[in-house]
Amino acid sequence: MGMTMSQKILAAHAGLNEVKAGQLINAKIDLALANDITGPVAIKEFERAGASQVFDKSKVVLVMDHFAPNKDIKSAEQCSICRKFAADKGILNFFDVGNMGIEHALLPEKGLVGAGCLVIGADSHTCTYGALGAFSTGVGSTDMCAAMMSGEAWFKAPAALKFVLTGKPAKYICGKDIILHIIGLIGVDGALYKSMEFFGDGVKYLNIDDRFTICNMAIEAGAKNGIFPVDDVTREYLKGRYKGEIIEYAADPDAVYEKVYEIDLSNLKPTVSFPHLPENARTEWGSIGIDQVVIGSCTNGHISDLRMAAEVLRGRKVAKGVRAIIIPATNQIYLQALKEGLIEQFIEAGAVVSTPTCGPCLGGYMGILAGGERCVSTTNRNFVGRMGHTSSEVYLASPYVAAASAVTGRLASPWEVLG
């Protein structure tokens, strides 16, 4: 019986000829990632276990992104634990203020992840790297600790769902609309502990950032991982960036998928997930006034996302009473946006531009909501209290929709502003 892309990567790293859905395996990992929230927990367990060194100084990554620059004493202490550990263990890939970015945008940019890799991260959105043809998934901090010591992790090989994407997306439709549509279709538990594997002639119309966005939100459907096949778009992104061996895995013709979904991208419309679940996806809405817009995060803080926002905001003003917050996902993206004049356009429009940080996405800082406030956000979750007060509301949307909403002062389609 054939294997899916995900199963092939797991089998190769476990030293097995094949794995089947539900099989428990132990596999060697290529990268173990933690941040300033999950890292300290793993580090304390590492020290409690009496370990002296990490398994490979180049394969353990610590990124200070959730509360860095530090917002308070507690967050400063969290980062301090990570800084001391990185220095003491000689960890080569430690990223902090001045050399930072949101982890799931930063690692691909730095060339730390490539096709065929097996990556775990103590953060649920580690599934982002499936855009590069890697198997990547989130784990708990104790699993992260064990991986830092041994270079291995246990997995239950997931069953899979197949998504066949056809057609060319219409104007103003991007990866965020696609994944919100899919989650709306299958629900937040529709892919529970399964692989979401994407195929079809529509894939060629998706740039690498679209794919990052789609895989990033696979976890919002309950998936273990999301993954795209390697093609010319993938190879172009990895060229000159990823220094490891690129291994391209393709699903077998007789690979088993629990269900196949066919999605015609040409039929999709700008999609918004209403509170308080990502599955609450809609393409029509009434006049809903807003207080804040956030454009950024590991989901939509890439340079193409900022270009979308700039296309809408160029020559226009943020509506009175609306706070617009733009957060480039990495310093390199920030610099590129500066070179292209995007930052100037954002500020002239009345938006504020932040250093790279997860910040408001998890209700951390840089954009907390008060009671009753509404925010249109390009982030990935809109649970009760996700961005602040439990009576606040978060509407998940693409950069096009978020920027159009900032201009109009209400939830709006880009067609209303750009025509």
What average pLDDT values come out for the chain (419 residues) when binned by 10 residues? 94 96 96 96 94 95 94 94 96 93 96 97 96 96 94 96 97 97 96 96 97 97 97 96 93 95 97 96 94 97 97 96 97 97 97 94 92 97 93 98 98 93
Residue 70: predicted pLDDT: 92
Residue 273: predicted pLDDT: 97
Residue 339 CB partners (closer than 8 Å, separation 6+): none
Residue 1: predicted pLDDT: 74
Q: What is the CATH number of the domain that holds 102?
A: 3.30.499.10
72 burial level (CB within 10 Å; 0-12, 13-18, 19+): exposed
Q: Are residues 216 and 306 in the same domain?
A: no
Q: Are residues 348 and 220 in the same domain?
A: no
Residue 169: predicted pLDDT: 96
Count structural domains, the chain: 2
Q: Are residues 248 and 309 in the same domain?
A: no
Q: Are residues 155 and 302 in the same domain?
A: no
Residue 37: predicted pLDDT: 94
Q: Are residues 287 and 315 in the same domain?
A: yes
Q: Are residues 291 and 258 in the same domain?
A: no
CA–CA separation, 414 and 312 (whole Å): 7
Q: Domain span at residue 306?
A: 272-418
Q: Are residues 247 and 321 in the same domain?
A: no
Q: Provide the phi-psi class of 237: left if phi over 0, else alpha when psi is between -120 and 50, else beta.
A: alpha
Q: Are residues 163 and 195 in the same domain?
A: yes
CA–CA separation, 143 and 139 (whole Å): 6
- The pTM for the full model equals 0.95
Q: Are residues 240 and 341 in the same domain?
A: no
Residue 243: predicted pLDDT: 87
User: Of 222, 237, 263, which residue sits at a domain end?
Assistant: 263
Q: Are residues 161 and 12 in the same domain?
A: yes
Which position has the token pair 């590991």?
A: 298
Residue 274: predicted pLDDT: 97
Rg (CA), the chain: 20
Q: Are residues 94 and 205 in the same domain?
A: yes
